[in-house]
């Protein structure tokens, strides 16, 4: 498995957990790097159940949200399931303002809650 700088990858049973590590995902260069790593990860790992953990992220821009939309589209197109968890206040507020929480994205408070919501 490749090494990534923008996130950590773990496996919890049959769910791939991707934990973002940057506190601020607002810089355009950082956003591009995160997007490229995310797409490379999807090409390599091809997760059928993917959980993205935002616990460490204090701020993100719509560029990262667009990357998440692309990620979800790819996972779901392959018959998979995509969920988010751990949205901090600012990130949660952005998702609410854009009407993305539990409409476009399944969002859970904690990784435990999200993992329990994946189908067997």
pLDDT of residue 23: 83
Its CATH architecture, for the domain 7-115, is: 2-Layer Sandwich (3.30)
The mean pLDDT of the chain is 91
For the chain, the three-class secondary structure string (H helix, E strand, C coil) is CCCCCCEEEEEECCEEEEEECCCEECCHHHHHHHHHHHHHHHHHHCCCEEEEECCCCCEECHHHHHHHHHHHHHHHHCCCEEEEECCCHHHHHHHHHCCCECCCEEEECCHHHHHHHCCC
List pLDDT tens digits, range 105-117: 999 999 999 999 9
Is residue 27 scored above 70 in pLDDT? Answer: no
What's the pTM? Answer: 0.92
pLDDT of residue 28: 67
Is residue 9 scored above 80 in pLDDT? Answer: yes
pLDDT of residue 29: 65
């Amino acid at each position: 498995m490749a090494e990534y700088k923008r996130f950590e990858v773990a496996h919890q049973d049959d769910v791939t957990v991707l934990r973002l590590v940057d506190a601020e995902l607002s810089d355009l260069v950082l956003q591009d790097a995160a997007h490229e790593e995310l797409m490379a990860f999807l090409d390599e790992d091809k997760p059928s159940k993917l959980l993205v953990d935002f616990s460490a992220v204090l701020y993100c821009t719509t560029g990262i949200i667009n990357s998440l939309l692309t990620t979800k589209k790819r996972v779901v197109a392959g018959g998979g399931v995509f969920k988010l968890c751990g949205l901090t206040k600012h990130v949660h507020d952005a998702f609410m303002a854009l009407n993305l929480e539990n409409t476009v994205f399944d969002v859970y408070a904690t990784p435990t809650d999200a993992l329990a919501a994946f189908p067997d």
